[in-house]
Amino acid sequence: MQTTDIGGVPAVVTGGGGYGWGDGCGGILGVILIIALLGGGLGFGGYGRGRDGGAPGYDFGLQKDILENRYVNEKNAGIIVHNNDVNTGKILDKMTSIEMQNLRDENAGLKTALSEQRITATILQNLQPPRAVPSYPAPNPYTPFMPNYGYGYPCGAAC
């Protein structure tokens, strides 16, 4: 084994007795095999990688267009959902304001009806003729003092 010093680091160099490029283990066939594999992987030999290069049968430009369209579609879907939420909120606000106005109108109508009832009751009470109210309780002079005799006739009969 032969060693050389490269930049202060010793290097190990074999002299044809190992697994190098031209020592009989692979030789030119190994080089051709490596070139064929690399060449096939790089798109030589009709495998093709599309416009931008890449895996065989894979079109990166088309994939880029698909991803851009997907991004635009999802962005537009987000805008649509947001607008839907805003519009739903506006509709609910409008319905709430209409219901509140209906309740206010109903409340005002009920207050007016109650006020009119009170006024009517006061007027009717003031229009009734006055009644005599005794200052002390007294028996009714038109009823007999004895329960079985009425107006001087027996058994309460007024014949």
Give the model's pLDDT for residue 88.
96
Which residue matches tokens 């009823």? 143
pLDDT value at position 45?
A: 47
pLDDT at 138: 75
pLDDT at 46 (0 to 100): 46
pLDDT at 132: 80
Position 74 scores a pLDDT of 94
Per the structure block, which two tokens stand in for 30? 């190994």
Instruction: Judge contact between 53 and 60, C-beta under 8 A.
Output: yes
The rounded distance, in Å, linking the Cα atoms of 124 and 117 is 10
How many other β-carbons are positioned within 10 Å of the β-carbon of residue 154? 10
Q: Residue 130's pLDDT is what?
A: 77
What totals of helices (H) and strands (E) does the chain contain, helices first? Answer: 2, 2
> What pLDDT is stored for residue 47 in this prediction?
46
| pLDDT at 147 (0 to 100) | 57
Helix (H) or strand (E) holding 40: helix 27-42
User: How confident is the chain (159 residues) per 10-residue block, as mean pLDDT?
Assistant: 54 51 58 70 49 64 92 94 95 97 97 95 85 78 59 53
CA 108 to chain centre: 36
Report the amino acid identity of residue 32: I
3-state DSSP: the chain helix, strand, coil percent, rounded to 5?
Answer: 55, 10, 35
Look at residue 98 in the predicted model and tell me its pLDDT.
97
